[in-house]
Amino acid sequence: MPGDRDLASIVDPLKRRFGSTLDVETLPHSPALSARYGTSDNRLFLIRPDGYVACKAAARDVSRLEEQLAHTLTAAARMM
């Protein structure tokens, strides 16, 4: 989430809800990251272990990211 102001009010609830299965990181500004994932100011990214972007949402639309996580984790649990 390069370029973002303090997003603790958004990131902390994600850590609490999904922290056991998810690494939440704040990334510094990087031309390489911007080239790979696009402009990232005020954006949240859900990146799979293989580097695929599963979800990209504006920080104000954190519910979209939460829905994607809940769906993905529920589907994965069913497959086990």
How many structural domains comprise the chain?
A: 1
pLDDT band per the 50, 70, 90 thresholds, residue 1: very low
Domain that holds residue 44: 8-79
Is 1 inside any structural domain?
no
Residue 79 has pLDDT above 80, yes or no: no
Q: What DSSP line would sit under 40-54, residue for residue? A: -TTEEEEE-TTS-EE
Is 45 inside any structural domain?
yes
Is 3 inside any structural domain?
no
Is 47 inside any structural domain?
yes
Is 53 inside any structural domain?
yes
- Per residue in 15-52, pLDDT (tens digit) is 888 888 888 777 777 888 778 777 666 778 888 888 88
- Per residue in 52-75, pLDDT (tens digit) is 888 888 888 888 888 888 888 877
Is 25 inside any structural domain?
yes
Q: How far is CA 3 from CA 21, 42, 75, in A?
A: 25, 7, 32
